[in-house]
Amino acid sequence: MFTKKVLVSALFAAGMLGAAAMPLTSVAAVEVYVSSAPPAERYERVPEVRRGYVWSPGYWDYRHDKHVWVKGSSVRAREGYAYQPNRWVERDGRWNLERSRWERAHRDSDHDGVPDSRDAHPNNPNRR
């Protein structure tokens, strides 16, 4: 009985030490480039989005050497941030899927697409 308790305790301690000695996995962005363009976007009926959410449209993902459609979904909104959905970008004849992300929302008083912090004339009334 005593030997069994010692053995179980030793195995538990060894497991805890092994877990503590394991390196932590790091989060790294992996970019995948493919030579074939994604298929045309599919039509999706966009449901009424609940308050506090934004719509993330469907997109073509690339899994197991082929494009796979991922349906759109509601994503919880983040105050002070603008949602940028998944999108495919062509670079030098190869295609890269830029994953969705949240970007800090910038004030754009004249709605010209240039944040006021970088706009030489942020309140230009002729740009509306």
Q: Report pLDDT for 44.
A: 93
**Amino acid symbol at 19:** A
CB 37 within 8 A of CB 88: yes
pLDDT of residue 124: 67
What integer is the mean pLDDT of 89-114?
81
What is the value of pTM for the model shown?
A: 0.60
Cβ atoms 95, 88 nearer than 8 A: yes
What's the pLDDT at 79? 87
List pLDDT tens digits, range 55-92. Answer: 999 999 999 999 999 999 999 999 888 899 999 999 99
Cβ atoms 110, 120 nearer than 8 A: no
Residue 82 contacts by C-beta under 8 Å, 6 or more apart in sequence? 102, 103, 104, 105
Asked whether the CA dihedral 84, 86, 90, 95 is positive or negative, the reply is: positive
**Could you report the per-residue pLDDT of 6-46, keeping only the tens digit for each?**
555 655 565 655 554 445 455 566 677 898 899 999 999 99
